[in-house]
Chains A and B, each alone.
Chain A
Amino acid sequence: MAGLLLPAAASLTPAAAALPFREVAEGIFVRFGLHEEVTAENCGAIANVGFIVGAESVAVVDTGTTRQQGEALREAVAAVTDRPISHVVATHVHFDHCFGHSAFADLPVRFVGHRNLPRALAERADFYTKLLSETCPGFAGTVVVPPNETVDDVTEVDLGGRPLRLQAWPTAHTNTDLTVFDARTGTLWAGDLIFDGRLPTLDGSLLGWLQVLDGLLTADVRRVIPGHGAVSDGRAAVAAERRYLEALRDGVRQALADDLDIPATLARLGKEDLQQWQVVENVHGRNIVSAYTELEWE
């Protein structure tokens, strides 16, 4: 359960940016996001972010929603090692994963993202910025940093005796999903291709996501860091996510076969039992609409 890894909520509210980092595998540190909506208090510190330490340099993977959260990450790196940060990776376009990049903009680092990330950021940055500025005071000073290096398919990054495999996926959770695999510990940093505990949000392709899940957990993956939730071997998390996405697919396909329109589909599928998931409010309905507009073109 994701909750077991999370400190009590009461202790978090004063400064979400100061959520602790934990070493989840040798040289891999994660700040776990809260299973909450974005609020003025948490300022979008809802996703897992962190870094991987190699013999020569450090790769940061996702940076949170604000410059402040990125700075906390940078301080956490400095507390662990003197080695320089060489890479700052964005697992996808969503602000809770990559809007803390600006805390690293003064460093000579490679900002790495999916080949679709520049365009996706261009389309969304202004909207996200406006939204977050209105929502949380802690967003002040945050600017969007696009990648200066993009991944078409697969690329390798070496932190010094620590090769990382960066893989850009076809459209799934979003059209910008990128994973980081650390061969040394068999750890897959999955980004939001894997949600654990928090209800998955569909912002790319339902069918694409199910296909990606088929190939995500290769035999060499022994540990998974999901975009949201707890570290595990990933098998149960992916199985639960798959069950949700398949039920969504099947329900929407049936609604389409029955000639239901969007409001009728929401009425039919909106009441499903989602007790095992957190932060369900509005997300499930939005997923239904997203699935409907995708599957009506099957």
Chain B
Amino acid sequence: MISAQRIASPFAALRLAAAATLLLAALLAVSPGPARAEGSAWDDIRQQLFGSEREILPAEGVIALEAPYRALDAATVPITVTARIPQTEARYIRSLTLVVDDNPAPIVGTFHFSPANGIASISTRVRVNAYTNIRAIAETNDGKLHMAAAYVKAAGGCSAPASGDQELALARIGQMRLKQLGSWRQNEVSEAQFMVSHPNYSGFQQDQVSQLWIPAHYVRRIELTLGGREILSFDGDISISENPSFRFFVKPQGSELLRARVVDSEDKVFEQSWPVEVEPSS
């Protein structure tokens, strides 16, 4: 397990205003582009994640990374990583790490997959605090690393307010939802969306204006099982957007129980389960 680690103090003074983001968006063009030349931030992050010895191969043929054409809301930047290989016992993507180079906490987190997923694609939402490279690094079961990257212009995501309504966010903390997308068939690759309500506060320093101190408070681990089989786990940090949401794939074996266990940075544990509806295989 890779623990997400802070390179700098957590989003100092952070959580920026959504309205600011939109006023900003007009001022600061937000656009995608090819990854820029490697910088020192990535060198440090790479060292921390994988050490200096391991080779990182290009992603072609293994994964593709999609970032939005324009990140309208820097606090909610949708990211999709599409696997180009199926998950088979012989060859599969074991883990996928997301990195936003220039965020205060650049390692968004790591997803762990298994052959039970059928396909190791994932969609989620991240905070983006600067003009930065976003990276997805897949580790295949042979231990090889494959990296895709995209350059995104956005500003202030980590400073964005977690919620327009903090009371509601706290009242709803730990609630979860599972959505079966499309109809699920036995032993066929099926898509799900998992959501957990959590403010995922990035935290901010004691503020001279108010003397308030809000510590970081975020989801650090999510484990999903289906019929007792591990289907997805995630180790994360404050760069995941408020109310973490994942779309992922799974091969259901029947009308099984999908269980979720979520642990946050205060070691609060939230658990829920849902029976999934599965049609006979086609």
- Asked if A pairs with B, the answer is yes
Residues in A lying within 8 Å of B, measured CB to CB: 37-39, 93-95, 116, 118-128, 131, 135, 144, 146, 171, 174-175, 201-205, 208, 259, 261-263, 266, 281-283, 285-290, 293-294, 296-297
Chain B, residue nearest A192 (CB): B19
A127, B159: Cβ atoms under 8 Å? yes
Q: Could you list 28 examples of A-B contacts with CB < 8 Å?
A: A37-B26, A94-B20, A95-B20, A118-B212, A120-B161, A121-B210, A123-B14, A123-B214, A124-B16, A125-B13, A126-B13, A127-B14, A127-B20, A131-B156, A171-B165, A174-B19, A201-B22, A259-B179, A281-B26, A282-B22, A282-B26, A286-B22, A286-B72, A287-B22, A289-B76, A293-B241, A297-B172, A297-B177
Chain A, residue nearest B241 (CB): A293
B164, A205: Cβ atoms under 8 Å? yes
**Which chain B positions have C-beta within 8 A of A124?**
15-17, 20, 159, 161
Closest 4 CB pairs of A and B: A126-B13, A127-B16, A204-B164, A122-B210
Chain B, residue nearest A40 (CB): B27
Q: Is B168 positioned at the interface, with any CB of A under 8 Å from its CB? A: yes
Q: Which chain B residues numbered 155 to 182 have a C-beta less than 8 Å away from chain A?
A: 155-156, 159, 161, 164-166, 168, 172, 175, 177, 179, 181-182
A146, B209: Cβ atoms under 8 Å? yes
Distance of A278 from chain B, by nearest CB (Å):
12
A208, B209: Cβ atoms under 8 Å? no
Q: Is B227 positioned at the interface, with any CB of A under 8 Å from its CB? A: no
Chain A, residue nearest B213 (CB): A122
**Which chain B positions have C-beta within 8 A of A283?**
22
**Which chain A positions have C-beta within 8 A of B125?**
262
CA distance A134 to B167 in the complex (A): 33
A203, B212: Cβ atoms under 8 Å? no
Contact mask for chain B residues 180-218; partner A; CB cutoff 8 A; 1 contact, 0 none: 011000000000010101000000100101101010000
CA distance A261 to B164 in the complex (A): 21
Contact of B18 among A285, A290, A297 (CB under 8 A): A290
Contact of B209 among A37, A116, A121, A297 (CB under 8 A): A121
B19, A201: Cβ atoms under 8 Å? yes
Distance of A33 from chain B, by nearest CB (Å):
13
CA distance A144 to B210 in the complex (A): 10
Residues in B lying within 8 Å of A, measured CB to CB: 12-27, 68, 70, 72-73, 76, 78, 123, 125, 155-156, 159, 161, 164-166, 168, 172, 175, 177, 179, 181-182, 193, 195, 197, 204, 207, 209-210, 212, 214, 241-243, 245, 247
**Which chain B positions have C-beta within 8 A of A289?**
72-73, 76
A286, B27: Cβ atoms under 8 Å? no
CA distance A166 to B247 in the complex (A): 45
Known: A122-B207, A127-B20, A175-B164. A290 touches B214 (CB 8 A): no
Contact of A119 among B23, B172, B212, B245 (CB under 8 A): B212
CA distance A286 to B181 in the complex (A): 25
**Which chain A positions have C-beta within 8 A of B164?**
171, 174-175, 203-205, 290, 294
Contact of A144 among B12, B182, B209 (CB under 8 A): B209
CA distance A242 to B242 in the complex (A): 27
Which of B72, B179, B247 gathers most chain A CB within 10 Å? B72
Distance of B43 from chain A, by nearest CB (Å):
26
A128, B165: Cβ atoms under 8 Å? no
CA distance A203 to B161 in the complex (A): 9
Distance of A181 from chain B, by nearest CB (Å):
24
New contact pairs (5) apart from A127-B159, A131-B155, A282-B70, CB-CB < 8 Å: A38-B26, A119-B212, A123-B14, A171-B164, A259-B179
**Which chain A positions have C-beta within 8 A of B181?**
259
CA distance A222 to B165 in the complex (A): 31
B168, A203: Cβ atoms under 8 Å? no
